[in-house]
Amino acid sequence: MKKLYYILCFTLLTISVNAGNPDRQGEAGANQLLINPWARTAGLHEMNTSCVYGAEAMFLNVAGLSRINKTQIQLGHTRYIADINLNSLGFAQKIGKGGVLGISLVAFDLGDFDYTTEDVPEGSGATFSPSFFNMGLSYSYLFENKVSVGFTAKIVNESVTNVAARAFALDAGVQYVTGENDNFKFGISLRNVGNKMRFVGEGLSEALPNPGPTFVYDNTYYARSAEFELPSQLNIGASYDWLLGKTNTLTLMGNFTSNAFSRDQLGAGLELNVRKAFGFRVAYKYELDASPGDSEATLDNGLSAGFTFSVPVRKGSDTRITFDYGYRQTSIFNGIHNLGLRLDL
């Protein structure tokens, strides 16, 4: 009954959220929250809401964070479009019998921009670099290997030298495992629910003359920027594992994504794992109501693929080093590449 209670409570929470509204497309900001920094999840086009586990689960479904042995450290690098790079760090540590505490950090390298003003519109030779990063603290708990729940509190930051916008956001998720060999999985996650963001700072001020009765002096006026929402998202996914011998598995997974500020998405993926040493995956994501060549469609719809190579530190050891690669096809530019390095203790 306790398991059913948790599932019911979370389901009622998620269905109460308004999502999947294409009429509001483009009204949200902080869309870096939707850019996947982890290679394995990226190779599956985020179809693994029901079966994602470890540190990378803090991005898609934090409930999977609790499905680790003891300690996991994960590094990620994403070669995004237009020479944009993402660097990510994830750390997960088991606490007590079923709890796991996690910390995640994603930083964006947007490159250098020429500093221009009204007086020097062509640039003075000076440059600046925007700072975008997201930092999260997560906790997940596993109930008897069947039901896991998790929550993430994160800080979102966007800033330049003299202007910044910040927000606080929450993620929540649940995973349920059943079947004779624990081969059927179901997952729900709610992401990026938080307060509105607004840019503030000295960069929005301007000194203008204020004529007085005896002399002219300058007053500083501040412009008030518009508020914008975070890109809230609801994911519902399921997967089924076929056991191929004692150590190999073939997993079929599907996922539905409802976006609060864009069209809904639907997709499916396949993943083959061989003796915990090799993994191969492919997936396809489709944006509902989007036509071919639609300029308003999400960037990374279509095909994705990836692979994993994992080796133990020494023979018979549970400590493993894993390399992940993921590729996502894009309608413009040359696709998105993800690299990942993971240490399991």
Place of tokens 């079923």: 98
How much is the pLDDT for 12? 44
Dmax (CA) of the chain:
93
How much is the pLDDT for 183? 92
How much is the pLDDT for 164? 94
User: Structural domain of residue 290, as residue ranges?
Assistant: 2-344
H-run or E-run covering 13:
helix 2-15
Which of 36-40, 79-83, 205-209 holds the top average pLDDT? 36-40
Residue 16 has pLDDT above 50, yes or no: no
Contact 208, 214 (CB under 8 A): no
Per-residue pLDDT reduced to its tens digit, 144-162: 878 999 999 999 999 988 8
Least confident of 3-12, 23-32, 166-175, 250-259: 3-12
Per-residue pLDDT reduced to its tens digit, 251-262: 999 999 999 888
Mean predicted confidence (pLDDT) in 113-133: 85
Closest CA to 193 of 63, 47, 16: 16
**What number of H helices and E strands is found in the chain?**
3, 18
Residue 2 has pLDDT above 70, yes or no: no
How much is the pLDDT for 238? 96
pLDDT band at 240 (very low <50, low <70, confident <90, very high): very high
Q: Quote the number of domains for the chain.
A: 1
C-alpha 247/C-alpha 234 separation (Å) is: 33
The mean pLDDT of the chain is 88
pLDDT band at 315 (very low <50, low <70, confident <90, very high): confident
At 107, is the secondary structure helix, strand, or coil?
strand
Closest CA to 152 of 95, 193, 196: 193
Mean predicted confidence (pLDDT) in 165-182: 93
Mean predicted confidence (pLDDT) in 122-147: 90
How much is the pLDDT for 293? 59
What residue type is assigned to position 30 of the chain? A
How much is the pLDDT for 296? 59
How much is the pLDDT for 246? 83
Q: Which two tokens stand for residue 293?
A: 């060549």
C-alpha 150/C-alpha 55 separation (Å) is: 12
Mean predicted confidence (pLDDT) in 151-177: 94
How much is the pLDDT for 5? 44
Dihedral of alpha carbons 97, 247, 344, 139, sign: negative
Residue 17 has pLDDT above 60, yes or no: no
Per-residue pLDDT reduced to its tens digit, 89-107: 999 999 988 999 999 999 9
How much is the pLDDT for 26? 67
- What CATH code is carried by the domain that includes residue 256? 2.40.160.40
Q: Quick one: CA torsion of 148, 287, 264, 324, rounded to 10 degrees?
A: 20
Least confident of 56-65, 145-154, 203-212: 203-212
How much is the pLDDT for 192? 95
H-run or E-run covering 34:
none
